[in-house]
Structure 1
Amino acid sequence: MTVKDLVIIGGGPAGLTAGLYAARGALNTLIIERGMPGGQAAATERVENYPGFPDGIDGPDLSMKMAEQAQRFGCEIIYSDVDKLELHEKGFKITYSDEEVIAKAVIVATGAKPKFIGVKGEQEFHGKGVSYCATCDGAFFRDGTLAVIGGGDAAVEEAMFLTKFAAKVYIVHRRGQLRATKILQQRAFDNPKIEFVWHSVLTEIKGQEKVTGIEVKDVRTNELSEIKVDGVFIYVGTEANSDLIKDLVQLDERGYVITQEDTGTGVPGLYVVGDLRQKPLRQVITAAADGAIAAAQVEKYLASLE
C-alpha cells in the first residue's frame, strides 16, 4: 500500500497552496480532487481581489496556474472522489476509486457547496433551467431572460456575468438593499440589463420540460406574483462539505469545522483549511493563507514523529 507524507483532500486554492508549500518543503505530497482544480474559484468568471493581478484574472486561469505551480515542485494530483478517511496505525487511511493510500498527515480542503432553497420545482428543473453556476451554464441562455436569487457578492457577480448572454436579468432579494460589497452594487445598478425585485423571496419555479417562470412573494404584503424567465440561478449561501470527517472533528451548528488558529483539529496530523473551516471571511486569499499555514504545521508535525 502506498504511503505518503501528506495527502490533501480537495484541490481548490487552499488545497493547491498547501500542496505547493508541502512539495516545495520536500514532503511526498498527493492531492485528491474530485472535479477540476480550483473548486469554487474555478467556477468564478473573474477574480479581481487576489493580489498580484491588478487587472484581475479569470478564475479558471488562476486555478490552473496554482495547480501547475504545485506540480512544478513535485506535488502529485489525481482526480477522484474520496470514499472514506479513517484513522490508521501509521496515521490515516484514505480510500478512493477502489484504491487505498496511507498518509502520515492529512489536510482536508473539501470546501463548501451551494445551498438549495428547497422550493417547489428546484429539484425537478435542476439542469433544465435551474443552475448554481453562471460560468458553467450562462452561455445556454443567450438572449434569454434570467432570475438570480440572492443579494450577496456571489449573486451580484454572477448576475453581471449573465448579462453577457441574457437580454435581461432579474435579481430577486428578500431585503430592500444588497449585501454585496459597494463596488459590486454600483456596477449592478449601472447595468441596464439588470432589474431588481426587492423584498421578495422565491416560492416556486415553474415549467413543463424546462423552466418557464418563477413565483415570488413580497415579504411585506405576502402578495404573490409571477415573472417569466428561461432560467434561475440560485446564490443563497453555501453548505460545508464536512461529511467525510464529521465523526472525527468538532463542527459548528452549520457544519463547518472548528479548528485552532493553526488549522489543527485536535486530531494529531489532521488539518482543515479553506471554506470548510469556520472563519469570518471565505475568499481565495484566505483559503490560500490557510493552505500555507497548514503545510507549515504538517512539516513541524512530521518532524516531531522522527
Structure 2
Amino acid sequence: MPELWDAIVIGGGPAGLTAGGVLSRAGRRCLLLEREGLGGKARHLERIENLPGFPIGISGRALMNRYRRCAAAWGLVVRRAEATRLGRLPKGFSVTTPSGTLWGRSVLLCTGTRFKRWSNLDGGEIPVFASAFSQARSFEGRKVAVVGGGESAMHQSLRLAGHAKTVYLIHRGRALRGIELLRRRLAQRPNVRVFPESELFPGTRGTVRVRGRAQDRSLAVSAVFALIGQEPELSLLREGRAPSGVFIAGDARPGTRRQIAAATGDAMRAAMECEEFLSGR
C-alpha cells in the first residue's frame, strides 16, 4: 500500500521549502519531492540584494541553505524524486514517481516556471539550453550567446561571464528590462557584448546570425541559451485547473511576482489554506 501523507509538496525552491516547513511545524505529516537540488533557481544566484533583512545581500546558496535547515528543523521530510503524474483518489491524491506511488490528502504545487519554447535554431548543430546556471562551467573559455532581455537573461549572462570567454546577449528591445543594478554590472563585464533590437537566426558551420536594425553579422558560438519569457510549470494539472485539495504557490501561481520574498509569502498563504482544508474548516 502506498505511503499516506497529509500533504505532498512538489518542488523544493523557496516556495516549496516554506510551504512544507510551515505545514510540518503545524504538526502535519508532510513530504517534499524535488527532482534536482533543493533551492530551485534561487540557489544559483551569486548575490540576492532585494531581500529584507540582508542589507549587504546574501548568496543564493547561503540563503537556500538557511531555508533548508529551517524546514528540516520543523520536521519536513525531503526526497529526491520527480513527480511524473498527479491523480485523483476518493479521499485525496496519488503522486507517481519513478520509484513508486505516494498518496496525499492534499498536494502543493511549488513547481516554479519554465522558459517558453524557442524554435529559431531548431535542427541546427549548435546546442540550445533553457538555463545557464547548471551549464556555465561547461563553457569555460568559450563563446556563448544568450537570447532574452529580462532579469533572468541578465542574471544568467552574469553567471556565464564568470566562465565563458565571451557572452553575446541578444534581445529585441531597445533596452534591457532588468533593474539598473544588473545593467550596471553587465556593463562592467568586459566579456559581455549586448546586441539590442536584434534577433538570432541559424548561421552556417557553427555560427549564428544576429540581425537587427543596425547590423547583420555572424557569430561563432559553442552554445545558445534561450531565456525568453517564463510561464508557470503546471504540467501536472491535466485538467488545466487545481481541484479542491491542490494548492499552487510561488512562481507557479499565475500572476505572482517572481521574487524570493513574494514566493515565500505566497507559500505561507498556500500552507495556511492547506492547513484549513486538512482541518475541515
TM-score normalised to the size of structure 2? 0.90
Query: 2:268 aligned with 1:284, yes or no?
Result: no
The alignment yields a C-alpha RMSD, in angstroms, of 2.2
The residue aligned with 2:192 is 194
Rounded to whole Å, the distance in 1 between the matches of 2:203 and 2:275 is 50
1:217 maps to a residue whose letter is R
Q: Check whether the contact 2:23–2:30 (CA below 8 A) recurs between aligned residues.
A: yes
Q: Structure 2 vs 1, CA of residues 107 and 167 (structure 1 numbering), >3 Å: closer, same or farther?
A: same
In 1, are the aligned partners of 2:10 and 2:111 still within 8 Å (CA)? Answer: yes
CA distance in 1 between partners of 2:154 and 2:50 (Å): 15
Offset of residue 123 of structure 1? 6.8
Equivalent position amino acid for 1:192 in 2: P
- 8 Å CA contact 2:256–2:262 kept in 1: the answer is no
Which has the larger displacement, 233-242 or 74-83? 233-242
| Greater mean deviation of Cα atoms: 79-88 or 43-52 | 43-52
Q: What CA deviation, in whole Å up to 9, does each residue of 1:78-98 have, x standing for no partner?
A: 111112212212211222224
Specify whether residues 5 and 49 from structure 1 end up closer, same or farther in structure 2 by C-alpha distance, changes over 3 A only: same
Counterpart of 1:119 in structure 2 is: 120
Q: Displacement, 1:232?
A: 2.3
Question: Secondary structure of 2:133's match?
Answer: helix
Is contact 1:119-1:205 (8 Å) kept? no
CA 1:162–1:122 in 2, change beyond 3 Å: closer, same or farther?
A: farther
CA distance in 2, matches of 1:133, 1:275: 16
Residues 122 and 205, structure 1, Cα contact 8 Å, conserved in 2: no
Q: Is the 8 A contact 2:170 2:199 kept in 1?
A: yes
Is 1:175 aligned to 2:176, yes or no?
Answer: no
Which amino acid letter does the alignment assign opposite residue 92 of structure 2?
G
SS of the residue corresponding to residue 53 of structure 2 reads: coil
* SS of aligned partner of 1:136: coil
Structure 2 runs not aligned, ≥5 long: none
Change (3 A) 1:101 1:138: closer
The alpha-carbon distance between structure 1 residues 292 and 122, as it changes in their structure 2 partners (threshold 3 A), is farther
Matched, 1:228 2:228: no
* Structure 2 partner of 1:237: 229
Instruction: Find the aligned partners of 1:228 and 1:48 in 2 and give their Cα distance.
Output: 34
Shift of 1:28: 0.6
Identity across aligned pairs (percent)? 30
Q: How far apart are the structure 2 equivalents of 1:123 and 1:64?
A: 39
Determine which of 132, 137, 146 is the counterpart of 1:134: 132
Write out per-residue CA displacement over residues 81-127 of structure 1, whole angstroms, 9 at most, x where no aligned residue. Answer: 1122122122112222242222111111111122331122577543x
Structure 1 equivalent of residue 145 of structure 2: 147
Matched, 1:273 2:273: no
Paired position in structure 2 for 1:258: none
Output the amino acid matched with 1:144: R
Query: Does 2:83 correspond to 1:85?
Result: no
Give the TM-score normalised by the residue count of structure 1. 0.83
Q: Secondary structure at the match of 2:156?
A: helix
Quote the offset at 1:74 in angstroms.
1.1
Aligned to 2:33: 32
CA distance in 2, matches of 1:16, 1:88: 25
> Does the aligned pair in 1 maintain the 2:20–2:76 contact within 8 Å?
yes
Structure 1 pair 229–83 and aligned structure 2 pair: CA distance change class (3 A): closer
8 A Cα contact 2:200 2:208, kept in partner: yes
Given that 1:45 and 1:59 are in contact with CA atoms closer than 8 Å, whether structure 2 keeps it comes out as: yes
Letter in 2 for 1:237: G
Seen in structure 2, the aligned counterparts of structure 1 residues 158 and 83 have a Cα distance that, compared at 3 Å, is closer
Equivalents in 2 of 1:279, 1:201: separation in Å? 28
Q: Secondary structure of 2:119's match?
A: coil
Residue pair 2:126, 2:224 contacting (<8 A) in 1 also:
no
Q: Who is 2:18 aligned against? A: 17
Local SS of the residue matching 1:154 = helix
8 Å contact from structure 1 (residues 90, 102) kept in 2: no
In 2, the alpha carbon distance for the partners of 1:100 and 1:143 equals: 44
